A and B are shown apart, each in its own frame.
Chain A
Amino acid sequence: MPVTVELLHIPGCVRCTGSREALREAAQAVAGDELIWRDLDVIEHMDYAVTLGVLTLPAVAINGHLVFSSLPTPDQLRRALSDPPKHGP
């Protein structure tokens, strides 16, 4: 079953850019080929961010559910993906 990980961020955010690859690798390690990774510019996806309940940035959603209201560590993301919310909001 596909696992969608969405990183909602502000373009140019140094923290997001610095951690993105490590997070993506952590997600890939758990979900393998089932991983769908999306980098979402929150300005372009404001409505979706509000639907998810994002109030602080960066944020990470898994399968359409807000799971992290700040940048997780790769280990935290790995653990969250081991028991992900059901697909779809």
Chain B
Amino acid sequence: MPRPQSSSPYTIGKLAALTQISADTLRYYEREHLLQPRGKSASGYRLYDEEAARRVQFIRHAQECGFTLAEIRELLTLRGRDSACCDDVRRVAIERKLQLESKIRSMKTMSTALDRLIAACSRDGVPVEACPILIGLEQAQPRR
């Protein structure tokens, strides 16, 4: 992230340019209580400081790691809490990993089911009512 040249407050446009996050997204973060402006200018514009820029980068990186907004809120709270320790953050990260692994497993199951359907399709230009994929989907038994 480019370092700011001064500590003068940023408008939302400046913060957006600095962090490469759109102003709409920054307003969304505000609605989600992830980001608060330091104050407002005399004309009513939101004003942010360097901490806001660091916070936006933190949110973006956390999203890239798959954290939900609720988890990011928790991480930000932990980050600002003196009594929090590394173990608290680690727990959130491990729980996210468990959730991701669980999703990966579900998606692999779905992918395998699709493999079976695709393999059943002979691509002989059969009419749609004889399409093995559609028939396969219709006949599939619910998983128990």
Question: Could you tell me which A residues sit within 8 Å of B by CB distance?
Answer: 10, 12-14, 42-43, 46-47, 49-50, 53-57
Contacts and interface: CB of A to CB of B under 8 A. Distances in A.
A13 B91 contact: yes
24 contacts: A10-B90, A10-B91, A12-B87, A13-B87, A13-B91, A14-B87, A42-B94, A42-B98, A43-B94, A46-B97, A46-B98, A46-B101, A47-B101, A50-B98, A50-B101, A50-B102, A50-B105, A53-B102, A54-B98, A55-B95, A55-B99, A56-B95, A56-B98, A57-B95
Nearest to B87: A12
A12 B91 CA distance: 10
Contacts of A56: 95, 98
Interface string B88-113: 00110011011101100100000000
B66 to A, nearest CB: 13
A57 B102 contact: no
B101 A57 contact: no
A14 to B, nearest CB: 7
A54 B98 CA distance: 7
A54 B101 CA distance: 10
B102 A55 contact: yes
Contacts of B102: 50, 53, 55
B87 A57 contact: no
